[in-house]
Structure 1
Amino acid sequence: GHYDHYRDNMFLATIDEREFGLKPMNCPGHCLLYAHEAHSYRELPLRIADFGRLHRYERSGVTQGLTRVRTFAQDDAHIFCRPEQIEAEITSLFELVGRTYAIFGFTEPHVYFSTRPEKSVGSDEVWQKAEAALDRILKAQGADYTVNPGDGAFYGPKIDFTVKDAIGREWQLATIQLDFNLPERFELEFIGPDNAAERPVMIHRAVMGSIERFMGVLIEHFKGAFPLWLAPEQVRLLPIADRHVAYCQTVARDLSASGLRVSVDARPEKTGYKIREAQLQKVPYMLVVGDREQEAGSVSLRTRTGGDKGIMALETFKLLALERAGARALDLD
């Protein structure tokens, strides 16, 4: 069913009278992996994860920055399970999404329940069964969700999680899709407790969605001011004069050896100018070094929000920075 639905959005080529295409999704490949060998009910749930690169021919008017691209990596996974395992698996996925989003400060994702689209595969009975299962799980979770009629995948209903960026735009990231149809079309089976062949249920899931879109939304969410643990440059040393550069370079090596990402701004510019520039570039921590700091083996700490934390011992700052980074804290203090 994927070829019929995705053909117009694929990169295709004909070679020696055979048609080839760049992979636009992982679902069929994971079905083939499952079907490659026999399975017992004792093996289920069987989870297959894939971060492989996918390609989709998005029209030029649709592509947008990192949020809509033609080639992307997706934190994709498919879970093959027994019908009685559906609720436990999806409940676990809800918890995974919640834990992951809390790390990045997405504390209130909105949940959408998308039902059967106009173009779909499978019988009415199968769709009703799948939609009823997801509706039951959402209510058991106590989720505040919105029904999105007709926006499900062509093979099954889905639960989507959206977050808002810094200016209030909503982006869909995580998805959980319940699929009774592809196991039927690929004739997937497992041997049940009574030694009879049974059909598994397939759960499609992505937590971040495409990594490219997640990064784009994350940049917008933090307005470029990443928390310490995510910042590309975590600490910038600002020597007041040339005679302080050597000490700054020694401090930088020490901090780098402890795992922090550090630079030294040794340009012959005024200190105020260098501080302002570091703030505009959203560097979390600035360490100003003059004669007092050099003689005492200390640093003068400033944060990108303009806060002057005063002079502190180098070891004290190092412990502070490592604690904030290790805890994946969203603030700097």
Structure 2
Amino acid sequence: MTINIVRFAQLCVAGLLRCVKERRNKCQVKCVNARVEMFAPHADTSFQQSLLCLSREKHEEEVRRRAQRILEEKRTIAEKKQLERERAAKEAKLVAMQRRITGIQQANRATEYRMQQAKMLQEERLQASEDRLKAELLKIDEASDRRGIILESCRFRTAQHLFLNSQRAQFNRSAIDTEVQARLRRQKERENARQKAVLEEKLTREIELQRRGLLHDQRRLSSVEYRIQQELVNREKWLQQERAHEERLWQLKLQRGTDGFGKTWHPAQRGRGDSSALIRREWNASDNGGEDNAINTYQRPVTS
């Protein structure tokens, strides 16, 4: 944001400088021309040009300094505004955080207050019941001293009742604590079970991916082995065709006759350097690509 503001200010200042520079140049040229015509009508043109250049340079320097000062002022103003915005944003975030913390603290205080009120209400009820029982006992004691045994029994029952109430309240508190701990334990067990299930699912997925990778590698290996077998079969067929071709050539040579020295040609004599010029020429022709012509000449009567 600050960079865009500074750039916009630079563009504005550049346009302002350009306009001011053009106006000042025109005015300066007119003033210089008027002065030159007034004081030195027959002066040298080089002197006029030097005065014009000096006035232009001074004017450009002043305009440049003024534009630089304006640009610096706008830049400082933009930076101050940006700092103020950032400070305001930080203050707003801090205020929001403080409000949130205050809300949480108020909720906690309200919860604690409700718990204290419930505890105080329970204690007040117990105290009220105890006071009521004590008042009844006092009334009974004041009404009849002759019923001491009954009063003693009533006192014992009252004390027993109070003891049972206190024991029951303590048991209820312990039961509530036990239930809370059991809930926390069950929640923790559920979380552990969920994490365990996620881990098992992840392991199962990894095992499945590894198994798929092994199957893919096995398929590729099978395809490579099948390709090698096909290449071996094709090579064997090609060798058989070569042998059949050489056999046909040999039969063809036998049908044509013997060489000039009365010797017959055989494919086994390929590397012996036969002295027959005809066989050597035919063999060289077959080695240099003329084998196809020989095959064609041999197969032509068969195909026709």
Give me the TM-score of the superposition, normalised by structure 1: 0.14
Greater share of residues in strand: 1
Give me the TM-score of the superposition, normalised by structure 2: 0.15
Question: Higher Cα Rg: structure 1 or 2?
Answer: 2
